[in-house]
Structure 1
Amino acid sequence: MYKRNPKFVHPELVHVLSTSKTRRLSWFENLNVSHSNLATALNDLLEYAQRGRNTRFIFLIGMTGVGKTSLAENALSTALTVLWEEEEIEIPFMYVPVETNDEPRFAWKNLYSAILEQGSSIPVESVREGVCSGDIMRFSNNKRYTLAALRKAIKRMAKERGLKVIIFDEAYYFLRFSSLDVMDTVKSFAEQIDVKLIFIGSYELLKLAAQYSIQIRRTEVVPFFRYDPKKKNEMREFMTVIEKFTSNWPCDHIPNFLAAADELAVASMGGVGQLSAILANFLGIQLRNKGEIWTPEMFGKALKATGLDEEMREQIREGEAELRRKYAIKNGFCTNQGIATIKEKLTS
């Protein structure tokens, strides 16, 4: 039976072990594990978030299940708060999941309403557009608040809060409609509100990231790659991630997942989020078993059916190939030779 590695044990684990099965499962599902690919993506996001106004759009792109949402909700949220703490801005960012809708066009009112409701205490129904007629300011008194009124209200809210960044998760919902029209509206919104927008999603977002030259000039893409088990250094990091999860297994009977690292790397496709989901599935089955004893059959039950698994793998292979081709290779001055060349010129 596996013995926990003390250096990876979370301080809360001792308390969690004495709680209910439901509480233990929930705690494990929300357990955040640091790793090198996450750190790389986080550093790039923070670098772009601090740039001037010429950088407006930041895309965090990676496979489904690589850990993008976890990064945004936890490490990125904490880092952004620390980033602007000297300006005494309590919460300089907003996290807004983009929701689907049944309308023929993207429901900007729904999105703007979500932003406004999250960022202020003003009920959306109270938002009215003011129109100046001579010396008289008139406000609409019906419930049909306009996009212009919502934008103005968001602008006021953003200024009062010192808002720096809005994070849009599940941003692939934008793609149900004309991506060109969406990015035109987003560009206008970002400039009017004067914030940076971070879009989080899978490879489909590559279609949004490079629409036309003026947008590309204001855009940066942060690839969030999975671990390749064929590369020894990446497999070592992935094994460390497995050990971190296993050391925090909220049961006394702990499977030795580290010994099954090869199988887990294949099953999760090297995605830490997908690995977490597999292990959480296993844990749920174990907790429901008599005496909370695990069995080998639980491993297969925790995985997806073969057909679904193969379909997802094919999409990931194609998407990651395009992501690597377009954005994984830095410009020439990021190489050792490029750095040496420019150093000689800049110090001359």
Structure 2
Amino acid sequence: MAATQLFITYFAMISAIMLSAFGELSVDFYDEVCPQALPTIKVMVEEAIALEPRMGASLVRLHFHDCFVNGCDGSILLDDTPDFIGEKTAAPNNNSVRGFDVIDQIKAAVNLACLGNVVSCADILAVAARDSVVALGGGSYDVLLGRRDTTTASRDAANTNIPSPLLDLPDLIANFESHGLGLVDLVALSGAHSLGFSRCLLFRNRIYNETSTIDGDFAASLQAVCPPSGDDDKLAPLDESPVSFDTAYYQDLVESRGLLHSDQQLFKGDGSLAGELVQKYSGNRDAFWADFGTAMIRMGNLSPLTGSDGEIRENCRVAN
């Protein structure tokens, strides 16, 4: 009996080692090594958002833009080095993606709480995105953990893989499919635009040239903020409640008040499946939150580095 129990214990240990080696993500990855990791991230995110509510949108966006470039590996956080040009100055990120200092603060607090460097920057991005959604009134979802950090980054890959706000629906669908994500993922994840702001540069063409697909009063109100030329960095909210994770984004699309071209492409009033999903989410908060959470989990599982691949960075801006 003792020998049998010993074998079972040994088998369980080997199974655990093999599971780690094969790189399975899990919700309880840090439960043993650092049970204070997730509570620490939550507190830090809540403090950052209390100081600047807009930061919630920025932290969600960091996770999205990280995952769409060679997987969820923390590459977006790396500064340039003599060996590579990183993703921070890629067209979709330059003068746009922000919150790097908040991630630095979270990483330092987590390292202190864990008495060492055991939580990856990629996992911090994933958890901070979820905690931002919850802090701004959205529904929670489980985050799978166990990602490790890459040691390199690519501006060219960021320019190629992050979907542009100027894309038409077929190109948006193709971009998401290239990452293993479907139409429901596209429409649900676009709901992250329930939070945050966009630069005049990115919506100027829509408010001056897309007169057939934009509400006239809405366009006029935006023209007062964003002139035909200049003032590229002037900001406008992505929906009418930019610091509340609600369904106003989808309601705006139904009313032809989507700020970005790519947003309004999801709803054209033509009976498409994308349009049906927009209408569904516009009137059903729980359905939106459920599909958004599922899509975030799917996105967070894009090509993670696990097991012995990559590393856990001490400083999220540089490789160890």
- Which structure has more strand as a fraction of its residues? 1
Smaller-chain TM-score range?
A: under 0.3
TM-score computed with the length of structure 1 as normaliser: 0.23
